[in-house]
Chains A and B, each alone.
Chain A
Amino acid sequence: MMGFNFRSMRAIYQRELYRALRTAFQSILAPVLTTSLYFIVFGAAIGGRMPDLGGVDYGAFIVPGLLLLTLLSESTSNASFGIYMPRFTGTIYELLSAPIGVAETLVGFVGAAATKSLILAAIILATATLFVDYSIAHPVLAVFYIMLVAASFSLFGFILGIWADSFEKLGIIPQLILLPLTFLGGTFYSIDMLPDPWRAAALFNPIVYLVSGLRWTFYGSADVPIEISFGLTLGFLAICVAIITFIFRTGWRLRA
Chain B
Amino acid sequence: MPLRKGIVFTAMEIRLCCCHERGMDDIILRLSGLTKTYPGGLTAMNNVDLTIRRGEIFALLGPNGAGKTTLIGAVCGLVTPTSGTIEVFGDNIRNNWRSARARIGLVPQELSTDMFEPVHRAVSYSRGLFGLAPDKARIEEVLRSLSLWDKRDEQIRALSGGMKRRVLIAKAMAHEPDLLFLDEPTAGVDVELRKDMWRLIGEMRERGTTIILTTHYIEEAEEMADRVGVIRKGKVLMVDDKNAMMQRLGTTEAVITLAVPLAQLPLALKDFPVTLENGGSKLCYRGGDGSGKGRAEVAGLTKALVRADIDYVGIEIRESSLEDIFVGLVENDAGEAA
Contacts and interface: CB of A to CB of B under 8 A. Distances in A.
Interface stretch (B25-33, B112-120, B198-206, B223-231): B112-120
B102 A90 contact: no
Contact of A96 (B70, B78, B98, B114): B78
A156 to B, nearest CB: 24
Interface in A67-122: 85, 89-91, 93-101
A8 B76 contact: no
Q: Give the interface SS of chain A, mostly helix, strand, loop or mixed.
A: helix
Contacts of A1: 98-99, 102, 131
Interface in B78-126: 78-80, 97-102, 104, 106, 108, 110, 112-116, 121, 125-126
A129 interface: no
A90 to B, nearest CB: 3
Interface residues of B, number: 34
A49 interface: no
30 contacts: A1-B98, A1-B131, A5-B131, A7-B133, A8-B129, A8-B131, A11-B128, A15-B125, A18-B121, A22-B116, A85-B114, A90-B110, A91-B112, A91-B114, A93-B76, A93-B78, A93-B108, A94-B171, A95-B129, A96-B77, A96-B78, A98-B101, A98-B129, A98-B130, A98-B131, A99-B97, A99-B98, A99-B100, A99-B101, A101-B98
Nearest to A97: B76
A99 B112 contact: no
A15 B113 CA distance: 13
A97 B98 CA distance: 10
Contact of B112 (A10, A11, A15, A90): A90
B80 A99 contact: no
A78 to B, nearest CB: 16
B98 A256 contact: no
Nearest to B70: A256
Among A11, A89, A97, A101, residue most surrounded by chain B Cβ atoms (within 10 Å): A97
Interface string B130-154: 1111000000000000000000000
B108 to A, nearest CB: 5
A5 B112 contact: no
B162 interface: no
B161 interface: no
B261 interface: no
Contacts of A3: 98
Among A5, A22, A98, residue most surrounded by chain B Cβ atoms (within 10 Å): A98
A101 B98 CA distance: 8
Give the top 4 A-B pairs by smallest Cβ distance, nearest first.
A11-B128, A90-B112, A99-B101, A97-B76
A135 B113 CA distance: 46
A98 B125 CA distance: 12
B38 interface: yes
Contacts of B73: 256
Contacts of B131: 1, 5, 7-8, 98-100
Contacts of A100: 129, 131
Contact-residue bracket for chain A: 20 to 34
Nearest to B107: A93
A91 B128 contact: no
A104 to B, nearest CB: 9
Interface string A1-30: 101010110111011001000100000000
A66 to B, nearest CB: 31
B97 A11 contact: no
Contacts of A14: 128
Interface string A147-168: 0000000000000000000000
Contact of B99 (A10, A89, A97, A99): A99
Interface in A174-201: none
Contacts of B101: 97-99
Given A7-B131, A98-B129, 16 more contacts: A1-B102, A7-B132, A8-B130, A11-B125, A91-B112, A91-B113, A93-B78, A97-B76, A98-B101, A99-B98, A99-B99, A99-B100, A100-B129, A101-B98, A256-B79, A256-B80
A86 to B, nearest CB: 8
A179 to B, nearest CB: 28
A90 B108 contact: yes
Contacts of B110: 90
Contacts of A85: 114
Nearest to A6: B131
Nearest to B171: A94
Contacts of A96: 76-78
A5 B98 contact: yes
A8 B128 contact: yes
B22 to A, nearest CB: 24
Contacts of A89: 112-115
A106 to B, nearest CB: 15
Nearest to B110: A90
